Amino acid sequence: MPVFLDTNILIYSISTAADESGKRDKALTLLDRDDCILSVQVLQEFYVQATRASRPDRLSQEVAAGLIRTWLRFRIQDTTVAVLQGWR
């Protein structure tokens, strides 16, 4: 069964915080799967959070964009009103 990944999973996958090592390992395990689904919104949120100046282990814009390109191998769900209305 496919798994939808939220922004937190992507952020944990890049974390260098020692107290988040377990979460990082779980996130990386999920990202090794072939059946993940991401949304455009999740990718946008990842980019903003991963590159923000106040992040202690922030990524460069180039590295963050490169990760997003890598994750485009997954199914990407557009964020549209039609999708939202279909969840009723």
Three-state secondary structure string covering 4-27: ECCHHHHHHHHCCCHHHHHHHHHH
For residue 82, pLDDT beyond 90? no
Q: What is the pLDDT of residues 64-76, one digit of tens each?
A: 999 999 999 999 9
Residues of the domain holding 27: 3-85
Q: Which amino acid is at 7?
A: T
Could you give the 3-state DSSP secondary structure of residue 38? strand
Number of domains composing the chain: 1
Model confidence band, residue 87 (pLDDT cutoffs 50, 70, 90): low
Q: What is the pLDDT of residues 11-49, one digit of tens each?
A: 999 999 999 999 999 999 999 999 999 999 999 999 999
Q: Give Cα separations from 38 to 4, 8, 19, 21, 62 (angstroms).
A: 6, 12, 26, 22, 20
What tokens were used for 2?
């496919």
